[in-house]
Each structure stands twice: as C-alpha cells, then as structure tokens.
Amino acid sequence: MSDPFDGTERSLGQLVASATAEMSALVHDEIALAKAEIRQDVKRGVFGSVAGVAAAVVLLFSLPMLSFALAYGINTWTGGHNGNGGWNLVWCFLLSFAANVLIAVLFGLIAVAKFKKMKKPEQSMASVKQTAAIVQNVKPHPRPAGAEAAKAAQDKAASVARSSA
C-alpha cells in the first residue's frame, strides 16, 4: 500500500490507479480467505462422508458373516455345543444382529459429529460486510458554492493539465 502522506502531490489519475490497485488486492485477499475456509470445511465433509459410507459398508457386508459366526458362538457359549440345548438359534441370531446395528450406529454418530463441525465461512462474511460498510460510508468531498466553486474547478483543471503534459 502506498503512503498517502509522502510529501508529494499526486494527480487524479495516480489516485484512481492507486485506489483501483488497492481495491483489487482487497478483493483477491477476500477470495483467498474464502477459499481457505471452504477447503477446510470440504475436508471435514469428506471425512464425514467416508465415515458414513464405512457405516453402510459394515452394516451391509458384515451382517451375513458376523451374524452367523456370532449366533453360533452365542449358541455354543450357552451350552448348545455339548448337547444341553443352549439358547435357541433364533435368539442368537437376533443378538448378533443387534451387535452389528450398534457398530453401524457408532459409525453413524461419528459421521454426524463430523458434519456438525462444518460451519459457514464466518471470517470471509465478516470481512465482506466490513468492506461494504466502509465503501457505503464513503462520501464525495464537499464542493464550495458560487464563485469559489468556479475558481476551485479552474485551479484543479490547471493542475491536471500540468500533470498530464
């Protein structure tokens, strides 16, 4: 940013060029800030999506294998392996299913927690609001009335003509 009080008078063109360059830099910085915030939220969203897909995969593909293994394990644990009967296989399979659902719920809760951490780009929005408030409050310089206005306009025209020559 250039120093406005460097002791030299700048022409209107130089002032406009300086203001344009500074406004362009401000816009580029705000865009970079928004990109950084959105990139972070996208990473969180991807991780949450992966956790949700993992929950679905565990529920769908592990049910047959884990259900049979767990059901027969429960039946054996309750005494079905030695001829004493043990629990009915229906109850063993229901218990196996409940265990698989609990695992899927755990993965689902992890996914929900990751999605809740996603937030809107607050810094970018605050910066844009602040810039808009500043630009909105900019007012033109007051112009002198009557004969003073004509003399001031002639002086400015003469200085612009000298600076552009």
**pLDDT tens readout for residues 121-164:** 778 778 878 877 777 776 665 555 555 655 666 666 565 555 54
Write the CB contacts of 46 (distance below 8 Å, at least 6 apart in sequence): none
Return all residues near 63 (Cβ < 8 A) that are at least 6 apart: 97, 100
Q: What per-residue confidence (pLDDT) applies to 142? A: 57
Below-50 pLDDT ranges, the chain = 164-165
Please report, to the nearest 10 degrees, the dihedral formed by the alpha carbons of residues 141, 144, 150, 152 taken in order. Answer: -60
CB distance 160 to 12 below 8 Å: yes
CA–CA dist 39, 112 (Å, integer)? 19
- CB under 8 Å to 76, separation ≥6 — which residues? 86
Q: Which pLDDT belongs to residue 105? A: 93
What is the structure's pLDDT at 165? 47
Would you state the pLDDT for residue 140?
Answer: 61
Structure tokens at 49: 């999506």
